[in-house]
Structure 1
Amino acid sequence: MTAATTSPAGTSTELRGGLGQVLLATLASTIAFWAWMSISPLQKTYATEMGLDEGQISLMLATPVLVGALGRIVVGAMTDRFGGRKMFTIVLLLSAPAVLLVALAGSIRSFPLLMLAGFYLGVAGTIFAAGVPFSGAWFPPERRGFATGVFGMGMIGTAVSAMFTPRLAQDIGYLPTHLLIAGALVVMAVLVWFFMRESPQWQPNHEKLVPKVIGALKLAVTWEMAFLYGIVFGGFVAFSTFLPKYLTTIYPDDVDALGAGMRTALFAAAAVVARPIGGVLADRFGPKVISLVSLGGIVSLAYIVGQQPAEGIVTGVTFILMAAAMGLGMGAVFAWIGPSTPKEKVGAVSGVVAAAGGLGGYFPPLVMGATYDASTNSYHLGLWLLVLVGAFALVVAGMLRDVGRKGA
């Protein structure tokens, strides 16, 4: 009996049902991401009703991202100790009041309260750090790129928010829209509590939080993957957050708020589809080569965006391809973590790396707002900075050691 449970066949039997568990985690992540990104699609409404300038808009958009980033360090480490089921439930339940606070701030047109609400709303973005170790534990090491890639599709919540939040606000009203999002979070928390279960391979790690995080920070792989993820996921978060603002500013005669929401939804969907593909390809060919392809694509496409081509097919295709390149990179980076990290530290390392990705999405909107040139209606400088940072990341990735490939 013991031999059976330690053999590959026994492990496969033990992990039966893993895909269903990962899909449930993906659905929960989708709802949380919808809440996390619920301010961005309505940024033009807030700006108009509250009289916000460029700096205030950028800060409003970036605040939930910052908290969601830093909070992932704690949530990732706590998932190692308490498990995904408990952490998913806690994050979902804590996020619902944050959405209601956003609704109150918008209703009374209070920018300070909206900033406070956005800070609290960042809790929803921490769910990613719970899902990576939870999902990875349900699959053998050679298929964890696939597992984390599928879970990463929960980013579609960004597209859901971009597409439906402004439409719902228009059709049923601002307050009912936020009540709906908060209700979805609570319902999802109930589903998680009753139907999610931990992998038989998962074992709680009772090491205290601070030593756990310090231990993760002592690993070279943590810093390497944090830097790369800060580019690929940070770029995705930054564009998902700032794209409606960018499109309505650069192309005011061609793109309205609903059109910008649709374009942002397509951007997010392209990254979501590409993410599991990146994980699968990383399992097959190694994460290094997929990361190089991803970063090369980001650099090239960011250069094209920086030229501010006329609104139309070129801009649409360019943003979609950029999102796909980012998605490939996200899948590859997390496929890189599992085989390179001690099993008991995967949650802590994932939390730190995920936090770096969130931080990577925090600064670009602030930079874009600070470098906006009103005289030429241009974000050239901010986009050039993305090109330069992406090129540097490409060099760094090329210098890192790859991990073994499936079947190698």
Structure 2
Amino acid sequence: MTKQKGATSVLVISTLAMVVAFTCWAAISPLAVLLQKTYHLSATQKSILVAIPVLLGSVMRIPLGMATDRFGGRKVYSLLMLFLVIPAIGLANAHSYMAYVGWAFLLGMAGTSFAVGIASVSKWYPPNEQGLVLGITGMGNIGTAVAGFALPTIAKTSGISSAFWALVAPVVIAAVAIFLFTKDPVVSKKAQPASQQFAVMKNKMVWVLSLFYFVTFGGFVAFGNYLPSLLVDVFKITPIDAGMRAAGFVVLATLVRPIGGYLADKFGASKMLSLIFILLSACALILSVALSNIIAMTIACLLTAALVGIGNGTVFKLVPQYFPTTTGIVTGIVGAAGGIGGFFPPIVMGIIKDATGGYALGFVFLLVFTFSCLLVNGKLRRSAPNNIKMSSAS
């Protein structure tokens, strides 16, 4: 397989569309403190509002990934972007907590852009280039930072409603660009029927990668979404300042993602993942005992950003390489696991905050998960010392 003509334009437009989609997916988070004050929400209620878009965006990655395999990224991606106009307008006109929860849930469809984008782009490039290329595609995650930078400022100057109206035009432009200026690749094998696609779920390595992505991408989503609220609560800084700091986390995690794919290409995914989980465990330990020290927290958070970004690129280098004809559904499954990994922590943190008055226990849970991943990966390395072995389900 060689790189197909037109691959570069698909890569660029798909990545930019993902930036827009992730801006929508993360739109609630930087505005959560303002919404909490407006509607007098508890920490748990605020956490639910922050987390709810992640739920639909995670679960629906599986059917959207399958649809991309069967119908092509051009149609699926453009229709997805058009759909996002509906909840964006709904949020712009919401006037109650439950209305925000309902529309935020639907806005979560933006998170499925990851499965659609990865499944689309992967088919244009040969396996030896996919680590770097899919890392570049995954940089669309930087939309989370765009939300953190832009939306609090818009809300402060023009109101919360204007922040959601600001999403509509970019979403429409992205939909039109995908439909008019991209095409689907020529593929040598047709997508498998749904029954055969679901058979891939019997492959244990799908679930191992899902566990790893639950921690790496889940950590990215959870930190990106909840850091603004945590920073305001612990250090009493302004929502705009907190949004900027959280955006810095997202930018770093996003920029290093292609490096993860490159290092996995060069040194092997298993070795990289072992190092990542060791260092993530250390960061979780530091955060659990030094949360009130802004210098220690900043250093630990920035290192965590780099590690989860590299980890995301490392995990997803493997998916299209070993599942070339079921990339969409495997991307959906693994991506769903990662999204769910970002759904629970904000809610857990809110509950812990209301119950204990602090957040330390939440980082203890992160330590447990990362260390568990280290043990699982260690077992895999003993059975396959050079790399993670994965039998193709194609």
Alpha-carbon distance in 2 for matches of 1:92, 1:363? 26
Q: Residue 346 in 1 paired to residue 327 in 2?
A: yes
Give, in angstroms, the shift of residue 194 of structure 1: 0.5
Q: Distance in 1 between matches of 2:64 and 2:36?
A: 32
Q: Is this contact kept in 2: 1:30–1:157, CA < 8 A?
A: yes
Question: Which residue of 2 is the match for residue 52 of structure 1?
Answer: 41
**Structure 2 CA distance for partners of 1:42 and 1:332, relative to 1, 3 Å:** same
Residue 314, structure 1, aligned to residue 300, structure 2: no
Question: Distance between the aligned counterparts of 1:212 and 1:196, measured in 2?
Answer: 28
Scaled by the length of structure 1, the TM-score of the pair is 0.90
Residue 243 of structure 1 and its aligned partner are, at CA, apart by 0.6
Matched, 1:131 2:110: no
Q: Among all aligned residue pairs of Structure 1 and Structure 2, give the percentage whose two residues are the same amino acid.
A: 34
2:105 matches 1:122: no
1:328-372 deviation per Cα after TM superposition (whole angstroms, max 9, x unaligned): 10000011222222x211111111000000011111111111112
CA 174–366 in structure 1, closer or farther in 2 if over 3 Å, else same: closer
Partners of 2:47 and 2:239 lie apart in 1 by 17
Give 1:174 deviation, angstroms: 2.5
**Aligned residue for 1:74?**
63
Q: 8 Å contact 1:251–1:311 — kept in the other structure?
A: no
Write the distance in 1 (CA, Å) between the matches of 2:121 and 2:63: 18
2:360 aligns with 380
Q: Which amino acid aligns with 2:158?
A: I
- TM-score normalised according to structure 2 size: 0.93
Of 310-319 and 36-45, the range deviating more from structure 2: 310-319
Deviation, structure 1 residue 200: 2.6
Mapping of 1:390-401 within 5 angstroms? 390-400=370-380, 401=384
Corresponding residue for residue 274 of structure 2: 292
Letter in 2 for 1:279: G
1:202/1:176 Cα in 2 relative to 1: closer, same or farther (>3 Å)? farther
The answer to whether the aligner puts 1:148 opposite 2:129 as a matched pair is no
Aligned to 2:24, the other structure's residue is in SS state helix
Query: Alignment partner of 2:326: what SS?
Result: helix
TM-superposed CA distance for 1:51, in Å, is 1.1
Distance 2:339 2:388 in 1: 25
- Secondary structure of the residue aligned to 2:167 is helix
Q: Determine the C-alpha separation between the residues in 2 that align with 1:221 and 1:141.
A: 18
Q: Distance in 2 between matches of 1:309 and 1:372?
A: 13
Q: 1:179 aligns with which of 165, 179, 192?
A: 165
Structure 1 match to 2:319: 337
Q: Give 2:392's aligned residue.
A: none
Query: Could you tell me which residue of structure 2 aligns to residue 160 of structure 1?
Result: 146
**1:169 pairs with 2:155:** yes
Q: CA RMSD in A?
A: 1.7
> Of the candidates 232, 237, 240, which is equivalent to residue 221 of structure 2?
237
Question: Which residues of structure 1 form unaligned runs of 5+?
Answer: 1-7
Question: Which residue identity is paired with 1:139?
Answer: Y
Deviation at 1:310, TM superposition (A): 4.6
Q: Give 2:130's aligned amino acid.
A: R
Alpha-carbon distance in 2 for matches of 1:190, 1:80: 21
2: CA distance between counterparts of 1:338 and 1:31?
A: 24
Aligned to 1:3: none
Give the distance between the partners of 2:343 and 2:355, measured in 1 at CA: 22
Contact 1:212 1:348 survives alignment (8 Å): no
CA distance in 2, matches of 1:182, 1:334: 30
Amino acid at match of 2:220: F
Query: Which string of whole-angstrom CA distances, capped at 9 and with x for unpartnered residues, describes residues 163-192 of structure 1?
Result: 111011122332232222111101110011
Amino acid at match of 1:179: W
Aligned pairs for 1:351-366 (under 5 A) are: 351-366=332-347
Matched residue, 2:349: 368
* Matched pairs, number: 384
Find the counterpart in structure 2 of residue 216 from structure 1.
200
Deviation per residue, 1:105-141 (Å, 9 max, x gap): 2xx2x11111111111111111100111211111111
Corresponding residue for 1:5? none
Equivalent of 1:28 in 2, 17, 22: 17
8 Å Cα contact 2:80-2:110 kept in structure 1: yes
Read off the aligned partner of 1:84 and give its amino acid letter.
G
Mean CA deviation greater in 143-152 or 314-323: 314-323
Instruction: Give the counterpart letter for 2:122 in structure 1.
Output: G
